[in-house]
Each structure stands twice: as structure tokens, then as C-alpha cells.
Structure 1
Amino acid sequence: MDITKIAQQATEYFNQGEYDRAIALYEQCIQANPALRYNYWYLGLAWLLQGEESEAQAIWLSVMTETPEEMDNLIAELLEILTTKAKEFLDSRKLQLAEKIYGQIIEIDATQAAAYYNLGNALAQQGNFEQAIECWQQSIELQPDLVDAYKNQGNVLQKLENFPDAIANYLKVLELQPDYDTAYNLGLCFSQIGRFDDAIACFQTTIEINPDYTPAYSDLGNLFLQQNQLEQAIFFFSQAIQLNPNFAQSYCHWQDILSQQGKSNEIIHTNACLLKALYLPENGFKIYFYLGKLLTKTNNLPSAIALLQKAAELQKDSPEIYWQMGKAFAKMGDLETALANYQKAIKLEPIWDSIYLDLGISLAKKGDLLAAIKVYNQALEINPKNHETYFYLGCTLSNIGQLDEAIVNFYKTLELQPQCSQAYWNLGSILAQQNQPEKALACCQKVMKIKPDMAQSIYDLMINLSQQGWLDEKTQPFQQLLPVETPLNFYETTLNWAISQRLENTNYCPVYPQDAINLIPPQTLDENIHFSFRFGNKIQLPGSFVAIVPDGRYWLNQAQDKSAVITSDNQLLGDISPQFPVLSPGHPDNHPSKHSIFSLSKLPHLEKLNETVAILAGLLNDTYFHWMFDILPRIELLHRGNIEITKIEKFLVSSHLPFQKETLNLLGIPETKILETHKYPHIQATKLVVPSFPSTIAWMPKWVCDFLRTQFLQQPVIAKTEKIERLYISRKDTANRRIINEDEIIDLLKNFGFQSIVLESMPVVEQAALLTNAKVVIAPHGGGLTNIVFCHPGTKVIEIFSPNYVYPCYWLVSNLINLDYYYLLGENPEGFYIHKLLYPNARIEDIFVNPTELLNILHFAGLTS
């Protein structure tokens, strides 16, 4: 073969990452022409990228001559090639390869400030923040005016909440080369440590540099609001909206559509009204009112009251303003003023029963119980179907000793709202006092079924009533209701427990060994990948197993975000007792010593089952993602752990949703053997069979993907499903994380062949069939993306996130089955603090997508041609 062609082929192999083949060809080239240095440089580089640093250095040294001048030229030539290649790898996010080369550059020439700087960038994007900061500091020592090193260091320190050091770096940037982004971040840092005057100055500087940067206006508004400078706060909030009205206009349009569909709610309506008022400030009182209403919800009461008072000055005949003001004063504890405002509201609008209810509650808190009773009765005359009014009337009648009347009202409450645990609670207390212990204990049982997390409160009530002689604690019904003690201590792992009990060969069955997810960084238009994706190139996952715990206990709290497996000697098994927040495998805060169960006083009453019970329940069992990746694979572990499913008498698992029923049926779990998690929050079984989670909650090994694909892609429906190559998964029928301007986004995507689908009502096997035929999937973050597990390798996935909540679970899935993963952040064009007013909980906030940015990422992913 021609030596030129061999060299070209070697370069192709090198660029493809096939370093073994490249090495062989470069060696051929060197044999054919020993004088051509280029081949030595790339031969050494190929060895370096294979991890053979010594071999690389030996090859490079073999070219070096003894003449100092020639040596300098050769080193410069080598460094130029290494620097070019390292930057290519860094820009294409081959971060480990870039890290290796920059490390070698520094070893050759430790005066290269740019190499330290870029090495810091490569390390930071892998989550190695301490090492990154060390590199940036070294680059600054070598080049004190390296602005970007200060800036990147400031960004990381700000993320780590080291605000003083972040401030020092940002100040240096502004000294060297002022820019609006740094001034803004500096303002955020000053805000975090309470230096509000400095923060205001920074945001004003931001606006001077970039008058169109709306977040700075929003933050200024927030700071003035905190200092009760309402006019200035509203001015800057209005400026933020008026400078960039797209979000406000889209939100109001979206709210109108939801209203027409009957899907709007009070929160969305209030948000839309505030945005509209800020955009059209001639209706000034509306700004004060709706902003005050939102601040009342977030308990910023002094500012809320000041705003509502201003609204009342401007609109004296609005009952809603006085009602809202009454709520704010009541929350603040100023009952006299609250009462005065409720009465003004009633005078203006005498047929709103909800105002009477709030008035009655405040009168009762003030101690004017007879007046409260009168007001509650007035409310019931207007609306005899309000269960809350009967409940509060019952409470007040109970407090003045009219127990028979109180009982009537609590029963009426339960007739209208059968799940009102507090009504059962109060009813049980009264019935005990009336010497009706069986009925009283029945009420306590109802409380425990509806709200088992009230175990400690139930215990305190029952003990108190028994001490007063109302309940006999020796009776069987009393004993059956008593909550139980929390664990005394913990075993860090289930294997530790098995070894300590000499059960490792009989009651502990390893199934899958430790594994790892090899990670490829996500693709994005942003200069740096989001902090939520910075886990390096690999993350280790623990192995999986099945354990049989004699007389073991299982507890799941009502919110399904805390769980525990407890041994017969009252010890927590740490590795199979997860809780939220979900942390990455090996995270120090995952240690069982930090489990929240140790902060509880009591656990709910224990249901003892003289049976073999398998635990399939996990966290958030009704969430499709957790169901598919955390719950169903535990059935596979039972099979792999040589557990005879037919011999298991009961399975503790949630099964009330359609996708749960469907999948359990397909996997052979009989409906007759199911114990529902909400009915059995705390059980003890003769044999508690506990398959571990596949690894750590929400972190899945590859075998889980293979298991799901095997189970759900073999169904007959696959062949009949319509083949749609480009899918947009809508969340319009869910309660959160919806795309606010979805109509606009769908219209844009239709131009490139996308079809919009809603998955919630589809059977799982149909969802699997639909996704297996897809070549491109775009969706906001949510359960529908769980189905990308059924896609073929190479399928492009574009996930859309709120900028304030980015969770990497679908990126992990994409890495496991080799999908081509991209992400796009939505925007808060109105600024962070206005958005936080609209959505205090970032995890569930709805998302505004910039159509231009979506078009850009479509082009970046090669989907616009």
C-alpha cells in the first residue's frame, strides 16, 4: 500500500478512537520514513490515549536531538499538536481524553497557563471540582489576568455555595474585564449572604451593561420587595415583563386554553392575572392584589399585607381584596385585624360561604366561640355541602362541651369527606369521653388507615384518654392499635446482617454483581454541560440480591418517600431501606446512620402476617419511572434468586393504577396475592422475602433495560402498532411540567415531521411498541420518557427541562442502551424570582420553551434537513 494512504488510514483510525489499529499503521509509516516526525507525535499520542504514558514519552523522546535549539523547536511542535488535539477533545466533550493530553502538556511544560485552565474545564465538567479549582488557581498564578479562569472558578464556587470565595473571583473579573453576566452572578452571591445593598449595586451594573437583561430587573424587584419598598419592587417586576413579554403572553394564552378545557386551577389563574397586570400596569390595584396573594401563599406576610392594603386603597369595593387581607393577617396572628377585614368582605359580598368559614375560624382562635358557631351556621345556610364548615363547627361545639352536637357535625363532615382523618380523630376523642370505647377505637383505626404517619399522635391521644379513664389500655382493641418502636440501630448492608446471624448461605442470595454505567456526556448547545450531568465517565453501581428475613418488618410512609426493612432484633437494613432525596450511589449522605426513621418516635401499628410475603414496594410506587425501573425488576430478581414465586403467599405492592395492573399481570403476579401498600404501611411476616433494588433507587444497571425490553417487546401488539419515526411526547394531560407554549412548539415540530402523542392513557405494551419504532423522541422531563428504554440504539432523544430542575435519569438510560441523547433547558425570561413566585416548587414547575433554541438544537442534532 502507498505510504501516503497508510498515513491517511492511520489518521482515520485515530480520529475514530481505534488506537490499536492507528498505532500499527503509524509504526509502518515510521519504518518506511523514519525522518517524518509527524508520525512519531501521533504514535505517542495514540499510546497516551490508550493509557500508556511511559510508552508515549519514550516514543517522543526518541525523536528529540541533543541540540538545545532543535530540542526547543521539537517540543514546540509536539506541544502544538497536543494542544490542538486536546482542544478538539474538550470541545467535543471527550473529557477524559482531553484531561490526559492536558496533563501531558503540563508535564512537558509546566508554564502553560492555558493548559492548566483547560484541564480545569475538563475536570469541572466531570464533577472533579476541587481538582478543577486547583488547576484554575495555577493558571492564574502563571497568568494573573486570565479572566475566564476567575469566572469559571466563581461559577463552581457559587454552585458549591461557597459565596465569599465566589465573590472574590467575580470581583476580580469585573476589575479586569467587566461583563453583565459576572455582575449578575455577583449580585446573586451578595443576595445569598444578605448584603442587599451590594447586590442592588451589582444588578444595577448589570442593567447598565445590558439594559435588556430581564433577570436583573426581576432580582432588583425581589430585593426591594424584601425591604418593603413596594413601588420600586413593582416597577422592576413590570420592567422585566415588559422588556420580554413573550412568557407572560404565552402563559395567559395557555391559561385561557386550560380554562376552556376545565383544566385550570386557582394557582394558574392567579399567576396569569399577575403577569397580565405587570404587562398592563394601568390596572395597578391588580398588581398589588395578585402579588400580595402569591406572597401570602409563600408566607412573606409583611410584604403581602402592605401590597393588599395598597390594593384596597385603589379598589375600595373589592370583597376579594379584604378577604385575602383577612387571610394574611390571620396567618400573621393578628386576629382582630383579620376579623375586621373578613367583616368588610362580607358586607360587600354576603353570599360567599368561604369568607364566613375563615371568619369563624379566626373567631374561634380568638376565643369567641359562640360568635364562631353563629358564623359557621351562616356559612352552612349559604352552602350546606361544605365539609370544612361542619368540621370546624364540630370542633367549636366540642370546645364548649356540646358533645352531641359536635358528633353530629363530625359525622356530617365524614359523610361529605370520608377521608377526613382529623374528623375521625376528634370524633374518637369525644366517643371515648361518652364511654363508647369500641366506637372510639374504631375511629382511631380509621385514622391509622387514612393517615398512618400519625402513629405518634394516635399513641399520645390513646394514652391520654386511658390515663383519664376513658379507654382501657388492657383491652385487645386498644393493644391492637398501639404503634411500635422505631429501630434501635442498623446494619449497613443486608450481607452484614446475614453474616452476623450465620445466614449468609441460606437467607442471602447474590444475583447480579457490582456493575458500572459508562457515561458519555450529554449533547447540548450550552458551553458547559449542566451540573446535574457531571459524574465523570463511569459510576459504580452496587450488586443485587435476594434476602429472606425471618420475622422481618417492612414500613413505608404515607408519602412513599421513606421506607425501611427491619430485622427481628429491631435493626434497620441500610441498603434496602431507601428514602428521598435520591442520591447517587456511594454518596456519603446515603449512609443508614442518617436515615430519617431514627428521628421518629413511633411507627404505625404492626400488621402481623403468618405468611411468606415478598416486598416489591419501593419509593413513589405510583410514578411510572420508578415503577418500571425500581419495582418490576425486583420480580426478575426473585426468579434469578431461585425463589419459587408460587410458594410466595403474598406480594406487598401497589396495583391500583392501570399500568400497574397490566404489568403485574404480564409478569405473573396474581391479583389474589397482592397486599396494597396503602392498606399495609407496616407489616411483619413469618418470612419476609426482600429482593434488593436493581442497584440504587433511580440508578439502573443494563440488565434492567434488557429485562424490560424482553418482557414488553415480545407482545403481539408490537406488529400492529402504527410506525411513527419522529415523536413528541406531550404532558398536556398531567398536572405539572407541561410546556406552557406547547401549541407553538408542536407547530414548529410539525414542520420537521414530528407527531404529538399523549401516553398516559395507553397500555404499556402499546407505549413500548410506539417507542421501539421511533427514530427521534422529544419530550419534557417526565414519566413518558421512561419508554425510551424500548428504543433502538442510535435513536435521538431530546429532553426538555425546566432551567430550575434538571434530573439525569433518562440520560442514564440513554447511556445504557446507546441512544443519542441531547437536552434543552427551558427559560425564565421574566427572571428567576418572578418565576419562583409563580412556582415555589421547582420540581413541578411548567416549562417555557424558546422556539429559536429548539430550532437550534434540532439543527445541532441534524434533524432540520
Structure 2
Amino acid sequence: MNQIQAISMTQSGQQATFLYQQAQRHLQQGNSHQARLLFQESIKLQPDFALSYQGLGDIWRSQGKLSPSVRCYLKVLELQPDLISADFFLDLGSELAESNQIDEAIICYNQALKIDQYHTKSYLNLGVMWRKKGELSKAIALYQQALALQPNLHSAYFNLGNVFLEQDRLDEAIVAYLETLMSQPDFESAYLNLGQALIRKNRIEEGLACGIHLITNSLLTEFITDVSDAAISSKFTTYRSSKFIEINLKSSVKLLPPKTSEEKLHSSFNWPVYHNPETFVTSIPSGQAWGDSYSTAVINAEGRFIDELCQGSASTLAISEKLPPATPLEGTTAFLSVRGGNTYYHWMADLLPRLKLLQLAGIQLEWINFFVVNSCHLAYQRESLTLLDIPPHKIIENSKLPHITAPNLVVPSLPGDVGLMSPWTCQFLREAFLDKVATPGLQTPARIYISRRHARYRRILNEEETIARLSPYGFVPIVLESLSFLEQVALFANAKAIIAPHGAGLTNTVFCNPGTQLIEIFSPDMVSVNYWLVSNIMGLDYSYLIGESLDEYKTPTSIPRRYYNHPLYEDIVVNLDSLVHLMHFSGMI
């Protein structure tokens, strides 16, 4: 017998039931005010009518009045427990937490645990609430209870690490963050907080490595129980133990020194010749692969990681027993994902040229059932794959399926050293895209300044002043995010002079004509040779400028300064007199 049937056996119950049913009809018609009044009248007539309390609670909740809604739901739980689930109280608690009603949220999470003592997320969220109230020991106990129920719950490890960091229990924080990354290898905040803990222990180099999402083996062997150098090395093998095709694309590039108006050439450019490394394609029966934003790994049928095909913190993946199981794919699968494959440079320089390696190994792309890439949600990713005739239905995104397995996994090597293009990769990109640029009526400026105003990091802080200074010399500011992929190709193919801060947009210099003039601007602590190498390969006229020290720069800037966890991301302030001097020195003006 349900509650309506039970209550309807008395006259007051019949009247309460009638009012409840009327209230429900008003709700269906969108009249919540009248429905609320009817639910309240129903409760006056029948104080133990749980359904009316539930309806009233729903109305208060829909109006954002969470405290009275909690009182109604608690009454429902008292009168008829089977009407409300643990998940319901979990969701209600989360709403209360978002509105900073901490005590009410705690009540809800506790009620969820009364309904289901194994409700892992309620332990986790309850821990978060007690941490906000400063009750750190209670928070730790609750996180540990969540982990006892679900040992691979990365958010519990992360929150545990945060409490330990707050208490200055640095070794315990480091362990918790490492456990987080063994469960969720691309958890950005875990890398950042791990870096903070290491820097506070004066382990600066390891802390900065975390800032660029790298975990050293020494950290794993020191802080993870039963992990040794031997245990890590036993997890790895070489591609030469598998079936592979070596592709001879080795070449050397003589590097001309860049132009600079500084008295001494920066040490990064004291490099006379670049030799690009060997390349190959390997075929792995019953192979597995892992890909995320920061790490990639290829694994053979025996469960050993192929060293030359791993990037990032692959050792963390190798020792982890907490990764999600592999998703099986049918037929032949080409694994193309690379570390940083969600960024324009690494997509163009490291990922796309792997398709050419497949072809050079005699593998026709139409034979392949699936192509695994980091993601395909960005416009340039979709456009470039379409232009290379890769059908959308064959694309698998690691952002959705990080761990895959296939009966026949084919994996090209990286096309060159990470972050460096080779002559053949430049030629491949030019052949693949330059002749697809439709230029009728397309007007592109000959002199361009590339803005990173909308980037998350490495921005020119005095950009308005920089643009104003460059404008009389014919430079037009360009935000590349506003252009399609082929529009970017056309822009650089037609450019005669380019000024830009170091950033992924300069990947497009591969489409420039020989003799194009380029000035690249760096922060004082981060100088990269990526585009100097491309310029040498393509015959560009390359110069560089080092920005001002941000700590000493006092002039107001047009973009507020941010603080970053690694010099790679540092913003830049341009000395405008030095820039104009370099433009004269290099022959740009």
C-alpha cells in the first residue's frame, strides 16, 4: 500500500490527498506559488504526509531557497526513507556547498551516508566541507574513508595532498599528489601543487619540472613504496624488440647564427649543426596505448612500455595500477598522439608528420581503421585532418578514450626531436597545405605583428604601446585565433616581415617564403630555438630580442601581469627602443 492509499483511509487524509493532487496539477501548469500553498495546506491536514513535504521541498529548491528545502527533505526522510536516495542528498549538498552554506551541506552529506554507508562521494565532499571549516583531522579521516572504498579516486588523493600541504606535511603531500597522478595522469592542479611542495622542500629543479608536467624517476623511487630504478626499468623495452620498419630520413642542417643587437649571442644559439634523429614505424600485435595532454605510452602484448614511443611522465604510467582499463578497438589502429598534442605547435610538428611516416613505411592510410589523436575539438585539428583526407568516423580522441588496445597497433616514431622540426617535416607540411590555400580576393598584410593577448600565458604586457610603436612601420596586429587554419597558412605565406613573442603561432613560419624577415621576442628566462631552426631550414632572415626584467620594469603596462609556475610561461615586457633598434640593425626598416 503506497502512502496516498494509506492516508486516504481517513477523511482528513482524503482532503490532504486531494490538495496534494491539485498542487501537482498546478506544478504541471507552471504555477509554483499556488502549488506551494496547496502543499502547505495538505501538510496542516496530514502532518505525516511525506509526499507533500517532498513537493514543497522541490519548490523551495527550484527557487534557490535551499535551507527550507533541506528541512522538508529531512522530514521526508523521517517519515518515508525510501522516497529519497543517497545521491539525492549528495546533489543537494553540492548545491548548498556552491552557495557556501557549509553547515547545511554537511547535514546533507551525513544524511546520504546514513542512507548508504558506502557512498564514496559523500565521504569525499564531507571532507571538503570540514576542511573549509578548519577541521583538518576530520577532513583527512573522511578522505581516507573514501579511498578505502575506492582506491583509485584521484580527487580524494588530491584533497588529501592539499590538507597535508596546508599542514606543511610535505612528504605526505608529495605521496598524495603522486598517487593522484597515477590515477589521473593529466590532473593539472596535482602537478602544480606537487611542484609547490617540492619547492618548499628546496627541491627547485624537480618542482619546476612539475610545472611543465614532468615527474622524475627519483621522485617515484623515493616516495612510492616498493618502487625502485630496477622496478621501473623492468617495465620498459625497445622498439627493436618488435617488428619495425626503419625509415632513413636523417639529415643535417647547418645553423646560421641569428641577428641580434645585443653585445653577446645568447648561449641557446651556440649550436652549429642540427642532426635530426632516426625514424621508424613499428607494428605491435595486441598492443595498447595511453595518451593524455602531458604523457603518451605504447605498450606491447607482454605489458612492457616501448621506451622510444613514450613521452612525458611515462614511468608514472608504468608503475600505476590505477589506470582505467583499455578500450578495445577493431582492426588496424594508428596511434598518433603526442605530448602537447592539444597545442598547435606539437600538433603540426610532432603529430601530423607521423602520417607521412606511415605512408613511407608502405602503409596506405585507407587501410587503417582508426587514427588515435589527443583530441579533435579545435578547429585547426579538424581542418588539418580533413585536408589530409582522414575521415571523421575513423578518429579516436584520447581526451575521451585515454587507454586503448587493438589487435594490430601501428605506431610511427616521433618525426624528430621533441619541439624541433626536421627538413622533411617542414617539406611535408608545405606540400600538404600550401597548395590548398584559396587566395582569390584574400587580402593579407605584408607586415604582421602576432598578438598573444588572448593566450593564457607568455603575453606582451605592454602590447598597446608595442602596437602603437610598430604601426608607423606598416605592421598590422593579428590575433591568429580569429583565423581559420588555411587563413593562417595564407597569412604567413604572403608575409614579408613578422614580429611576434615566442609562441605556437610561429609554427606557421614553416609556410613562409625564403627571405621573410622574423623578429622573435623572448622573456629573459626562456629562450627557445624552435623557430630559429625552422628559419634556418626555410631560409628566413631571423633575429631575436630579449624582453625586460619584469621585476625591474616600472612603467604601467596595458595587460596585467600574472604569475606562473615555470619560466616557460612567463609574460614579456618589450623595450620599445631596443625593438626599433633591432629592426634597423636587421634591415627590417
- TM-score range normalised by the length of the shorter chain: 0.5 to 0.7
Q: Give unpaired runs (5+ residues) of structure 1.
A: 1-376, 415-425, 434-439, 459-484, 581-593
Give the deviation of 1:514 after TM superposition: 2.0
Distance change >3 Å, CA 786–CA 716, structure 1 → 2: closer
Paired residues of 1:455 and 1:604 also in contact (CA < 8 A): no
Match of 2:241 among 497, 509, 533: 497
**CA distance in 1 between partners of 2:493 and 2:586 (Å):** 20
Whether 1:666 aligns to 2:396 is no
State the one-letter code of the partner of 2:362: N
**CA distance in 1 between partners of 2:155 and 2:434 (Å):** 43
Aligned residue number for residue 863 of structure 1: 588
Aligned residue number for residue 278 of structure 2: 543
Aligned residue number for residue 521 of structure 1: 257
State the one-letter code of the partner of 1:620: G
Give the deviation of 1:509 after TM superposition: 2.0
Distance change >3 Å, CA 760–CA 391, structure 1 → 2: farther
Match of 1:752 among 449, 453, 473: 473
Distance change >3 Å, CA 456–CA 731, structure 1 → 2: closer
Give the deviation of 1:555 after TM superposition: 1.6
Equivalences for residues 132-151 of structure 1 within 5 A: none
Give the deviation of 1:408 after TM superposition: 12
SS in 1 for 2:572: coil
Equivalences for residues 1-400 of structure 1 within 5 A: 384=96, 386=98, 393=105, 397-398=109-110
State the one-letter code of the partner of 1:386: E
Paired residues of 1:491 and 1:573 also in contact (CA < 8 A): yes
Equivalences for residues 670-749 of structure 1 within 5 A: 670-749=391-470
Let me know the Cα RMSD of the aligned residues: 4.1
**CA distance in 1 between partners of 2:144 and 2:366 (Å):** 42
Whether 1:652 aligns to 2:372 is yes
Per residue, is there more helix in 1 or in 2? 1
Paired residues of 2:519 and 2:543 also in contact (CA < 8 A): yes
State the one-letter code of the partner of 1:752: Y
Whether 1:818 aligns to 2:545 is no
Equivalences for residues 544-693 of structure 1 within 5 A: 544-556=279-291, 558=292, 560-579=293-312, 595=315, 597=317, 600=320, 602-653=322-373, 654-693=375-414
**CA distance in 1 between partners of 2:155 and 2:387 (Å):** 34
**CA distance in 1 between partners of 2:384 and 2:469 (Å):** 35
Distance change >3 Å, CA 612–CA 444, structure 1 → 2: farther
Distance change >3 Å, CA 532–CA 394, structure 1 → 2: farther
Cα distance per residue 1:595-625 (max 9 Å; x no partner): 5545545544222334321011111111000
Whether 1:765 aligns to 2:505 is no
State the one-letter code of the partner of 2:267: F
SS in 1 for 2:329: strand
Give the deviation of 1:755 after TM superposition: 0.7
Paired residues of 1:785 and 1:810 also in contact (CA < 8 A): yes
Paired residues of 1:491 and 1:497 also in contact (CA < 8 A): yes
State the one-letter code of the partner of 1:706: Q
**CA distance in 2 between partners of 1:595 and 1:540 (Å):** 27
Paired residues of 2:294 and 2:340 also in contact (CA < 8 A): yes
Distance change >3 Å, CA 457–CA 539, structure 1 → 2: closer
**CA distance in 2 between partners of 1:691 and 1:457 (Å):** 27
Paired residues of 2:182 and 2:316 also in contact (CA < 8 A): no
SS in 1 for 2:236: strand
Give the deviation of 1:626 after TM superposition: 0.4
Distance change >3 Å, CA 836–CA 779, structure 1 → 2: closer
Paired residues of 1:394 and 1:409 also in contact (CA < 8 A): no
**CA distance in 1 between partners of 2:494 and 2:569 (Å):** 30
**CA distance in 2 between partners of 1:686 and 1:387 (Å):** 50
Paired residues of 1:487 and 1:571 also in contact (CA < 8 A): no
TM-score, normalised to structure 2, is: 0.62
Give the deviation of 1:545 after TM superposition: 1.8
SS in 2 for 1:622: coil
Give the deviation of 1:827 after TM superposition: 0.5
TM-score, normalised to structure 1, is: 0.43
**CA distance in 2 between partners of 1:567 and 1:609 (Å):** 15
**CA distance in 2 between partners of 1:662 and 1:738 (Å):** 26
Whether 1:797 aligns to 2:533 is no
State the one-letter code of the partner of 2:357: L
Paired residues of 2:146 and 2:156 also in contact (CA < 8 A): no
Match of 2:267 among 508, 531, 549: 531
**CA distance in 2 between partners of 1:395 and 1:696 (Å):** 55
Aligned residue number for residue 779 of structure 1: 500
**CA distance in 2 between partners of 1:641 and 1:410 (Å):** 53
Aligned residue number for residue 579 of structure 2: 854
**CA distance in 1 between partners of 2:232 and 2:550 (Å):** 48
SS in 1 for 2:531: helix
State the one-letter code of the partner of 1:855: V
Aligned residue number for residue 225 of structure 2: none
Paired residues of 2:420 and 2:530 also in contact (CA < 8 A): yes
Cα distance per residue 1:182-222 (max 9 Å; x no partner): xxxxxxxxxxxxxxxxxxxxxxxxxxxxxxxxxxxxxxxxx
Distance change >3 Å, CA 787–CA 457, structure 1 → 2: closer
Distance change >3 Å, CA 394–CA 843, structure 1 → 2: farther
**CA distance in 2 between partners of 1:575 and 1:395 (Å):** 53
**CA distance in 1 between partners of 2:364 and 2:108 (Å):** 57
**CA distance in 2 between partners of 1:391 and 1:666 (Å):** 56
Give the deviation of 1:445 after TM superposition: 12
Cα distance per residue 1:749-768 (max 9 Å; x no partner): 11111111111121111101
**CA distance in 2 between partners of 1:695 and 1:688 (Å):** 21
Paired residues of 2:336 and 2:351 also in contact (CA < 8 A): yes
**CA distance in 1 between partners of 2:308 and 2:266 (Å):** 29
Distance change >3 Å, CA 547–CA 397, structure 1 → 2: same
**CA distance in 2 between partners of 1:858 and 1:750 (Å):** 13
State the one-letter code of the partner of 1:815: N
State the one-letter code of the partner of 2:347: W
Cα distance per residue 1:687-729 (max 9 Å; x no partner): 1110111122212211111111112111242343213111101
Paired residues of 1:394 and 1:406 also in contact (CA < 8 A): no
Cα distance per residue 1:114-146 (max 9 Å; x no partner): xxxxxxxxxxxxxxxxxxxxxxxxxxxxxxxxx
**CA distance in 1 between partners of 2:146 and 2:288 (Å):** 34
Give the deviation of 1:520 after TM superposition: 1.2
Give the deviation of 1:395 after TM superposition: 10
Give the deviation of 1:511 after TM superposition: 2.7
State the one-letter code of the partner of 1:807: S
**CA distance in 1 between partners of 2:347 and 2:355 (Å):** 12
**CA distance in 2 between partners of 1:391 and 1:552 (Å):** 50
State the one-letter code of the partner of 1:551: S
Cα distance per residue 1:509-563 (max 9 Å; x no partner): 223332223211111112222222232x11222122211111112122x4x2222
Paired residues of 1:551 and 1:688 also in contact (CA < 8 A): yes
Give the deviation of 1:737 after TM superposition: 1.1
Aligned-pair identity in percent equals 37
